[in-house]
Chains A and B, each alone.
Chain A
Amino acid sequence: MCEYFVSGFDVFKVRFIMEIYKRDVGAVVDKAQPKRVDGLSKILGTAVYVDDIELNDVIYATTLRTASAGGVVEEIFFDPALDWSEFIIVTAKDIPGLNAVKLLENDQPVLVDRVFRHAGEALVLLGHSEPDMLKKALSHIRVHEVPLAHPVFDIDEALSAENKIIPGNVYSDYLLEKGDVDKSFDEIECFIDARFITPSQEQLYIEPQGMIAILQNDGVLRIDGSMQCPYYVLDALEQCTGLSKDLLRVVQTTTGGAFGGKEDYPSVIACHAALLAIKAGGKPVKLVYERGEDMRVTPKRHPSRTMLRLGANRAGELQFIDMDFAIDGGAYRTLSPVVLSRGVIHAPGPYFCKNIRVRGRAIATNHPPFGAFRGFGAPQSIFALEVAMDQLAAKLAMDPAEFRRKNLLRSGDVSPTGDILQNDCFAQDALEEALRVSQYYERQAEFKHWNKQNNGTVRGIGLATFAHGAGFTGNGELYLASRVLLQAHGNGQVEILCSNTEMGQGAATTLVQIAADALQLPMDKIHLAQTDTTRVPNSGPTVASRTCMVVGELVERAANLLLQKLMTEGGLSKLYSVDEFADACLRMQESKKDLLVSASYQPPAQMLWDENKFTGRAYSSFAWAAYIAEVEIDKLTYETRILNFTAVQEIGHAVHPQIVQGQIEGGVVQGIGYALYENVLWNDVGVMANDRLTNYIIPTTADIGPIQVVLMEKGLGAGPKGAKGVGELPMDGPAPAIVNAIQQALKMNIDQIPVMPELLMKLACSERVSQ
């Protein structure tokens, strides 16, 4: 009876949701805004995530990890009181291939052999058919660790530490230089010298990470799981298992968010699951992390500290930017060099300045490695520069908008990396539009008035202007050499074959839409094939805001090739109906002609980049933005509330405006979290201490206020119809805009985030004491 009630209710609920969905979609559907191809299955809960996959005879798995912040494992002792024959046990000795996670460098072990660098490194993998037995087993293994005497968790401590993790404790040391900073410093009229700190940040995708591995009867090792980069996983498996690629198959399951967090770590989990599967006698092995484990061990945003001197003349023209930018890379190199490179290139902002020096270093500490997270190094350096811009404007007694107006790049200017800007430069336009739609000057006057009255709060308005380059940095796209296939079928259906993943961001819809548009077919005739490395070519990782722009362009090109092929070989006329398209496909199939076309990456013409000197054109396209935050601070408690947020960006072309808007709103919310709430706390061994959603605080809908998104489309980007990447852009601006608004409201300098009430209270109290 009770069951009937529950299922009856669910059916009702499902019907209700479907009604709403149809109604809503019916209202907004037009050619540019088709409904998301993955939307309904996610609303109804029928999408199958890795943990939902039901398996027969499954082996559950868990990971025993190191406890100290680096050291040596002397002995692993398995308590004989437990019958270990029931368990699958994997240690470093069981690795058939190389014991190293394949990435930029082979420095990170898949499993600790003896020496380790941080707490939480995988040491022993256990498999058993009963999850409860795994918990029991963990308490019956004793590890004798000799901990490292002096682990380091701070960037500057790591640089001065006596015992280094790697030589100098520096993974990478880059220099971007233009003009002569030292000389210009001697002539300077006004400057500031400040030190900025940004914290780590957890991606907090909805779906924790997990993998399923099975060694099939045919000898193929198959991995299914949540990931951004199937070919990274494939390469890692090849190196670790020693199996050749034709015996490896990687399949992406529905991925519930990633934000960069599923760029490198899925390779680790996949290797772990694979090693267990190799010993599991053909049974599937399921290794899915609980939320707490995911938060403690998987990579997060790099913490940073920036020493920054910024100088201008009395007229408000920037004279020099001098930055010492350092990010905490954690205990292994992983992706830190590329995160650093993006941080360095974005550090001077979208400004014209003759003298620039940015030294960037990625530092080794005993934290778990930090990794990719939306923005990828840029939010850190942009935060420092943009907050410093306001501090310098205040010193010049100049309005921050006016100060920026004087310095933002224009077409024909030489960029910080020495590239002459062509027509695709809209920094000024974005600023003016943001000032206009936010009614910046009116709001500023209102707030001044408000702050003079005896209200319980003070208000401020702040802005940030910035640009974000889409795609891999410099020659990265050239090295990736991405390839996309389009496979038409006899029934007129077309499949897109690429390795880029839908992970919640809308890629499946966008790519299908691009193909449908190029082929002049309805979207239901196009299908994005499941990301399975035995079927799809390597079109590169799903990172760096590159999917729509770089891969989308390949899809568009392949679609045009397919049309050409059908016209020349299949007798398709220039004007065709959907049925005629299908007929042409059928004719091709019947005459045994292949219906497969491919497109490969071609770098844009003026794309010259010197990766040693950091000169030339770093990205084929930059998106330009100006963000404005209006905040209110409680005078008693120092709680900050966002009153309004305006996000204006020039993004070339919005393939699907609603998805773009969603991306921007989502990024702004993550940026609000970065600015005000998200405070990764470390325990005494350098592992995230607030590993639950009750104490790692992200903003809710009650915290964010209205967000106004304005899209400017000038059509000059490298993607389809001039589209540019937008995924990461919205992460760069909110933190500095919000901090600048707070600085203005409280008339004090702030040099770190998150700006929690505790920080403001401390600053206010110490200011009171010093007065």
Chain B
Amino acid sequence: MVEWVRPQRVGEAISLLSKMPLDHYQIISGGTDVMVTQRLSMHQKNRDWLDLSAIPDLKEIEVHDKGIRIGAGVTLSALRRHPQVQKFWPMLAASAAVTGAAPIQNRATLGGNLCNASPAADNAPVLLAYGASLEIAGQQGSRIMDYAAFHVAYRKTALAAAELLVAVHIPYPPDKSVSLYRKVGTRAAQAIAKVGVAACFQIDAAKTIVQARFGIASVAAIPCSLPTVSHYLQGKKIKQIDAAIVRKGITHDIAPVDDIRSSAEYRLETTSRLIWDAIQHVE
């Protein structure tokens, strides 16, 4: 028999986690990933369930003067429909809208998408490009970490034992900024990304790139950014940008592979084309 526990406060959940050995509980929120995994891995030992869906704090969206705080348990449907998310963080509304399909979005949560830690996670590139940070709760209280440091290896996150992701913080994009998100999936809905690209450029009055931040899905073991390209673009105007150097930087920064969904060749080429296309939008 497996146990199903459904705490109503974050503290309660942390305390349950801390009392049990690591991996005792299978944490579940919307269940759109873990229910499928559970069904497919027949030989896995059945773990007890820790259900986060009854914790009201995790469901909250709060827009404040510095940005937005999105509870980890907020569903993708809620995100894609949220007027302020649509207005200030349109890439996030867009990525939520192309995750799975409507029934998945009704259950799936932003926190779940990040903690499932798939390199193909649809909302990961956008959060990287927006420079999001995460609020993580543990026994000693909460800590804030850069989202860029969250994914440490293939399907491994920086969450320690008895820690929970409770919220995602995203600052307002700078006043003058251009952002673009594009998912290339295996089909128009219910698709896992072959490539997902998010780009956010901060530009000044002279249209010089002050900062360029990227997030890419499905081109490495973890959702990744393009540090070489970002560094190269900083301080440049469109006309000064050399396509060959950008492409070389992309090749350096990502590590696409051949798998059942696509080829390394296609992923590299498509990423390069989409990044180059995004850069053109700065003008």
Q: Evaluate contact between B189 and A702: CB separation under 8 angstroms.
A: yes
Query: What 0/1 readout, one digit per residue, does chain B (243-283) give for beta carbons within 8 Å of chain A?
Result: 00000000000000000111101100110011001000000
Return chain A residues, CB-CB under 8 Å to B42: 135
Cα A494 to Cα B273 with chains together (Å): 66
Return chain B residues, CB-CB under 8 Å to A695: 186, 192, 260-261
CB distance from B273 to the nearest CB of A (A): 5
Q: Evaluate contact between B270 and A761: CB separation under 8 angstroms.
A: yes
Contact with A639, one of B184, B260, B265, B277 (Cβ below 8 angstroms): B184
Instruction: Name the residue of chain A whose CB is nearest to the CB of B276.
Output: A636
Q: Is A697 an interface residue (CB 8 A)?
A: yes
> A758-B263, A761-B266, A761-B269 given as contacts; is B274 within 8 A of A702 (CB)?
no
CB distance from A348 to the nearest CB of B (A): 34
Q: Is A757 an interface residue (CB 8 A)?
A: yes
Q: Evaluate contact between A765 and B269: CB separation under 8 angstroms.
A: yes
Contact with B184, one of A135, A637, A702, A765 (Cβ below 8 angstroms): A637
Q: Is B87 an interface residue (CB 8 A)?
A: no
Instruction: Name the residue of chain A whose CB is nearest to the CB of B270.
Output: A637
Instruction: Name the residue of chain B whose CB is nearest to the CB of A139.
Output: B43
Q: Evaluate contact between A637 and B101: CB separation under 8 angstroms.
A: no
Q: Is A207 an interface residue (CB 8 A)?
A: no
CB distance from A204 to the nearest CB of B (A): 14
Query: What 0/1 readout, one digit per residue, does chain B (95-117) give for beta carbons within 8 Å of chain A?
Result: 00000010000000000000000
Query: What 0/1 readout, one digit per residue, does chain B (41-59) give for beta carbons within 8 Å of chain A?
Result: 0110000000000000000
Q: Is B19 an interface residue (CB 8 A)?
A: no
Q: Evaluate contact between B43 and A700: CB separation under 8 angstroms.
A: no
Instruction: Name the residue of chain A whose CB is nearest to the CB of B272.
Output: A636
Most buried by A among B191, B269, B274, B277: B269
Q: Evaluate contact between A699 and B274: CB separation under 8 angstroms.
A: no
Instruction: Name the residue of chain A whose CB is nearest to the CB of B190.
Output: A700
Return chain A residues, CB-CB under 8 Å to B263: 758
CB distance from B275 to the nearest CB of A (A): 10
Q: Is A146 an interface residue (CB 8 A)?
A: no
Number of A interface residues at 8 Å Cβ cutoff, please give it. Answer: 22
Contact with B189, one of A135, A641, A689, A700 (Cβ below 8 angstroms): A700
Q: Evaluate contact between A758 and B101: CB separation under 8 angstroms.
A: no
Q: Evaluate contact between B187 and A636: CB separation under 8 angstroms.
A: no
CB distance from B96 to the nearest CB of A (A): 16
Return chain B residues, CB-CB under 8 Å to A681: 260
Return chain A residues, CB-CB under 8 Å to B269: 761, 765
Contact with B265, one of A135, A690, A702, A762 (Cβ below 8 angstroms): A762
CB distance from A701 to the nearest CB of B (A): 8
> A636-B274, A639-B184 given as contacts; is B189 within 8 A of A703 (CB)?
yes
Query: What 0/1 readout, one digit per residue, does chain A (383-399) give for beta carbons within 8 Å of chain B?
Result: 00000000000000000
Contact with A702, one of B43, B187, B273, B277 (Cβ below 8 angstroms): B187
Most buried by A among B42, B184, B188: B188
Return chain B residues, CB-CB under 8 Å to A135: 42-43
Q: Evaluate contact between A700 and B265: CB separation under 8 angstroms.
A: no
Cα A249 to Cα B143 with chains together (Å): 69
Most buried by A among B182, B186, B262: B186
Return chain A residues, CB-CB under 8 Å to B273: 636-637
From 679 to 716 in chain A, residues with beta carbon under 8 angstroms from any chain B beta carbon are 681, 689-690, 694-695, 697, 699-703
Return chain A residues, CB-CB under 8 Å to B192: 694-695
Q: Evaluate contact between A699 and B187: CB separation under 8 angstroms.
A: yes
> A677-B186, A690-B260, A758-B266 given as contacts; is B43 within 8 A of A636 (CB)?
no
Return chain B residues, CB-CB under 8 Å to A694: 192
From 183 to 229 in chain B, residues with beta carbon under 8 angstroms from any chain A beta carbon are 184, 186-192, 194
Return chain A residues, CB-CB under 8 Å to B182: 637
Cα A681 to Cα B262 with chains together (Å): 11
CB distance from A747 to the nearest CB of B (A): 19
Contact with B188, one of A636, A690, A702, A762 (Cβ below 8 angstroms): A702
Instruction: Name the residue of chain A whose CB is nearest to the CB of B40.
Output: A692
CB distance from A407 to the nearest CB of B (A): 36
CB distance from A690 to the nearest CB of B (A): 5
CB distance from B161 to the nearest CB of A (A): 30
Query: What 0/1 readout, one digit per residue, does chain A (321-354) give for beta carbons within 8 Å of chain B?
Result: 0000000000000000000000000000000000
CB distance from A75 to the nearest CB of B (A): 25
Q: Can you list 29 A-B contacts with CB-CB less than 8 angstroms, sorted by A residue number? A: A135-B42, A636-B270, A636-B277, A637-B182, A637-B184, A637-B274, A639-B184, A641-B188, A677-B186, A677-B187, A689-B260, A695-B261, A697-B186, A697-B187, A699-B187, A700-B188, A700-B189, A700-B190, A701-B189, A703-B187, A703-B188, A703-B189, A757-B194, A757-B266, A761-B265, A761-B266, A762-B265, A762-B266, A765-B269
Query: 8 closest A-B pairs (Cβ-Cβ)?
Result: A702-B188, A702-B189, A758-B266, A636-B273, A697-B186, A703-B188, A695-B260, A700-B189
List 11 other contacts, CB 8 Å, given A135-B42, A700-B188, A702-B187. A135-B43, A636-B273, A637-B182, A637-B273, A677-B187, A689-B260, A694-B192, A697-B187, A758-B265, A762-B265, A765-B269
